[in-house]
A and B are shown apart, each in its own frame.
Chain A
Amino acid sequence: MTASQKGKRSSRSRGDLVLKSVVGAAAIGVIALLAGLGIELAYSSRLSISTFGLSFIFGSTWAPIHSIYNAFPFLVGTLATSGIGLLLGVPMGLGIAIFLSENRRGGRALNTTLGSLVELLAAVPSVIYGLWGLFVLVPFMAHFVEPGLKSVLGFLPIFSGTPIGTDLLTAGVILAIMIIPTISAVSRDVLNAVPNSQREAMYSLGATDWEVIRKSVLPYARSGIFGAIILGLGRAVGETMAVTFVVGNNTNLPHSLLSPGYTLTSLIVNQLGATTDPLADAALVEVSLLLFLLALVINFVARGLVWRMTRKTKFRI
């Protein structure tokens, strides 16, 4: 090996080394940040953890006068509002994505414009959604939608109670609106990445448009769409200001979708800065820890499901 060749090889491998170190440090840094956050939350809430134990997560009593802080109603609120958000937002978001990726009429300009308009929804700050929700959506829900629901489905226990507008259902509707752009943007990219050979093969067999989408495109893009849904769920679980304005902020365990309730995030917003004793402080941090763990669990479960779904298929997105 000549000297110049040796020089070239070592400078390239030095470059590689630098790259690997920097990228590796970034990766480790992120993991360290996440772990540090979790440890700090757990440490700052140790008083509350030791005082309440598991009843913090499964108990429903929030009584500052007796120094009892249980967070189950808030957990229920977060899960219920996010669940409604997904139920309403996924079909809409997925429908938009399918339209934008499969639509042949109007040309590319139409799809790009429509796509940009949908993504504009994501550009609206969350606090604006909250204000709009309080001033516009809440009266609309209270005077039209909820009485209508009650007249048709009022026998169901989840629709019992007086429709007042500021309740879990309205919070779920706002969350649905907020996660539509996330789901549709990611799903659209996923659907666009499905090779045309898949579609052409189905068309050549005589399938209709809908059959092509249902039997060939969607299954191919399944794991990516699932990832989009999980992203949407993650956003819904963490959404704060929009939910706080409309969810009703009542600490009692909600017994129906029309009950006012609390989510983990809206409790944090309302309680922050107002705590006056160490146990209340610790309880507040423990609510944050609960939210943190919930987000982690959702992501792990999602990853696991995606892995299982794509294990047997040859194609992965």
Chain B
Amino acid sequence: MYPLMQAWINTYQYLQPNIQISYAALGSGKGISGITAGLYNFGESDAPLTAAQYSALPSGSNLLTIPVSDSGVIPAYNLPGITAHLNFTGNVLAEIFYGTITNWNDPRIAALQSPSVASTLPSNPIQVYHRSDGSGTMYGFTQYLSDSNKTWAENVGYSTGVLNWPVGVGCLHNAGVAQCISGNQYSIGPLEIAYEIANPGQINYGAVKNAAGHFVLANLTNIALAVGAGVRNGLPSTDAQWSSFSVIQQTFNDTADTQIYPIATFTYALVYQDLSASYAATTQVQALDTLSFLQWVVNSGQATGAYLGYAPLPASAVTLDNQLLASITYNGTPVLTGS
């Protein structure tokens, strides 16, 4: 999330030299607690607020959750001699990361591959890696594992913070996970697709089975399709709905869309609907600048994201976002006038 935000800010400040945006990358937790406390004009998060966080918001406030980008998590691995993309299901991934499946040539993994690939699977033990620090993409990945496997859901669950991964080694940040995987043979780990796109060809990753039964190899297109399917019924309108909204869960049983990638996530901007309220701690000028920036991000800024491996928002999401931004008011009048 941070490289994308940094790129957006740099580009926007180049286009609008009079506007200064300062961004503190402290993690989603601090972004949410900061905006609750009125410290920031807007916040960013990789996961929507939980029910507990919504109840902690100032009374009478309406915090809008605005998707600004999407990303996906890929199962990256390092298997010498195997160049094919292995197939995985959510259940098999959960069993690998839980420690139930310990070797690469386990029949449960072999059953998902074509016979020619299955016979080349080595008997080596699987070395599991994961992120050690809090991360929205790990939130999405572990949510997917929870939905796929009951043992995982009951014992580990999902969270943006430090989780009790049953096996494996935690590496710091995406780059750390990539380094751990590429430096150790017979290893596997969840990686944000942005890393793979920014460093193509360096790491091998597998396809994941979606609800329609297809094994999909993640790319920006099928991730954008996934989030498009996720918002087909509109974005949640109330706080309570947002705290339980997730693209992964929306698409988990979506058998109609055959090309979507099942582990896709949004990243969100958080902004109060009434920026003149005292809890928003925003002046009129700041309100206009903030919303101009967010409007640019949602529309023209999407092209910047593609360079860094973040899929552009689907058109349906952009329309919904523009409606949300248009609804933000200052002293009763909408901040963004015109288109």
**Which residues of A are interface residues toward B (Cβ below 8 A)?**
61-65, 134-135, 138-139, 142, 162, 164-166, 244-245, 248-252, 260, 266-267, 269-278, 280
List residues of chain A with CB within 8 A of the CB of B238: none
List residues of chain A with CB within 8 A of the CB of B28: 273-274, 276
Assess whether B82 is interfacial by the CB under 8 Å rule.
no
Task: Assess the B29–A275 pair: CB atoms within 8 A.
Answer: yes
Contact residues of B: prevailing secondary structure: loop
Given the known A-B contacts A63-B164, A270-B134, A274-B160, are A250 and B170 also in contact in the complex, defined by CB atoms under 8 Å? Answer: yes
Task: Assess the A276–B166 pair: CB atoms within 8 A.
Answer: no
Interface readout for B39-72 with A: 1 if CB under 8 Å, 0 if not? 0000000010010110000000000000000000
Given contacts A166-B169, A249-B132, A260-B170, 20 further A-B contacts (CB under 8 A): A63-B156, A64-B157, A64-B164, A65-B154, A65-B158, A134-B180, A135-B179, A162-B125, A166-B180, A249-B169, A249-B170, A250-B165, A250-B169, A273-B29, A274-B29, A274-B134, A275-B29, A276-B50, A276-B52, A276-B53
Assess whether B161 is interfacial by the CB under 8 Å rule.
yes
Assess whether B159 is interfacial by the CB under 8 Å rule.
yes
List residues of chain B with CB within 8 A of the CB of A244: 132, 172
Question: A273 contacts which of B30, B47, B180, B183 (Cβ < 8 Å)?
Answer: B30
Give, as a whole number of angstroms, the nearest-CB distance from A244 to chain B.
6
Task: Assess the A62–B162 pair: CB atoms within 8 A.
Answer: yes
Task: Assess the B165–A64 pair: CB atoms within 8 A.
Answer: no
Task: Assess the A249–B163 pair: CB atoms within 8 A.
Answer: no
For chain B, residues 165 to 187, give those with C-beta under 8 angstroms from any C-beta of chain A.
Answer: 165-172, 176, 179-180, 183-184
Contact residues of A: prevailing secondary structure: mixed
Q: What are 21 A-B interface contacts by the 8 Å CB criterion?
A: A62-B162, A63-B155, A64-B163, A134-B176, A166-B171, A251-B162, A260-B169, A266-B132, A270-B162, A271-B162, A272-B134, A273-B30, A274-B28, A274-B161, A274-B162, A275-B160, A276-B28, A276-B47, A276-B161, A277-B52, A277-B53
Report the bound CA distance from A280 to B52 in whole Å.
Answer: 12
**Smallest CB gap from A166: residue in B:** B169
Assess whether B135 is interfacial by the CB under 8 Å rule.
yes
Max chain B Cβ within 10 angstroms of own Cβ: one of A135, A166, A269, A273: A273
Max chain A Cβ within 10 angstroms of own Cβ: one of B127, B161, B171, B176: B161
List residues of chain A with CB within 8 A of the CB of B285: none
Report the bound CA distance from A158 to B217 in whole Å.
Answer: 42
Question: A276 contacts which of B26, B125, B160, B169 (Cβ < 8 Å)?
Answer: B160
List residues of chain B with CB within 8 A of the CB of A270: 132-134, 162, 170, 172
Report the bound CA distance from A278 to B32 in whole Å.
Answer: 13
The contact size tier of chain B is 35 or more
**Smallest CB gap from B136: residue in A:** A274
Report the bound CA distance from A250 to B156 in whole Å.
Answer: 13
Interface readout for B124-140 with A: 1 if CB under 8 Å, 0 if not? 01010000111100000
Task: Assess the A249–B159 pair: CB atoms within 8 A.
Answer: no
For chain B, residues 4 to 25, give those with C-beta under 8 angstroms from any C-beta of chain A.
Answer: none
Given the known A-B contacts A64-B163, A65-B155, A273-B27, are A248 and B133 also in contact in the complex, defined by CB atoms under 8 Å? Answer: no
List residues of chain A with CB within 8 A of the CB of B180: 134, 166
Report the bound CA distance from A29 to B157 in whole Å.
Answer: 46
List residues of chain A with CB within 8 A of the CB of B160: 274-276
**Smallest CB gap from A244: residue in B:** B172
Give, as a whole number of angstroms, the nearest-CB distance from A181 to chain B.
25
Question: B172 contacts which of A65, A245, A252, A274 (Cβ < 8 Å)?
Answer: A245
Question: A62 contacts which of B164, B168, B184 (Cβ < 8 Å)?
Answer: B164
Max chain A Cβ within 10 angstroms of own Cβ: one of B53, B156, B162, B170: B162
